Amino acid sequence: RSGKERFILLVVSDFDPDGEEIAHSLARSLRDDFGVRGIEPIKVALTAEQVEQFNLVSDTEAKLSSSNYRKFVARYGTGVFELEALRPAQLQAVVQAAIDSVLDTEAFNAELEQEKSDAASLAGVRGVVCKTLGTWKAEGAN
Inform me whether the pLDDT recorded for 141 exceeds 90.
no
Q: How far, in Å, CA of 127 to CA of 113, rounded?
A: 21
Most trustworthy range by pLDDT among 10-24, 107-121, 124-138: 10-24
Inform me whether the pLDDT recorded for 110 exceeds 90.
no
Q: 21: closest CA among 58, 59, 66, 55?
A: 66
Q: How far, in Å, CA of 134 to CA of 78, rounded?
A: 71
For residues 23-40, give the mean pLDDT.
91
71: confidence class by pLDDT, cuts 50, 70, 90: very high
Q: Which residues pair with 12 in a beta bridge?
A: 45
Amino acid at site 105: T
pTM of the predicted structure, to 2 decimals: 0.71
Alpha helices for the chain (secondary structure H): 17-34, 48-53, 69-76, 88-102, 105-140
pLDDT at 72: 95
Q: How far, in Å, CA of 142 to CA of 128, rounded?
A: 22
Inform me whether the pLDDT recorded for 125 exceeds 70.
yes
Q: Which residues pair with 7 in a beta bridge?
A: 39
pLDDT at 142: 53
Q: Are strands 39-45 and 79-80 parallel, antiparallel or unpaired?
A: unpaired
Q: How far, in Å, CA of 101 to CA of 43, rounded?
A: 13
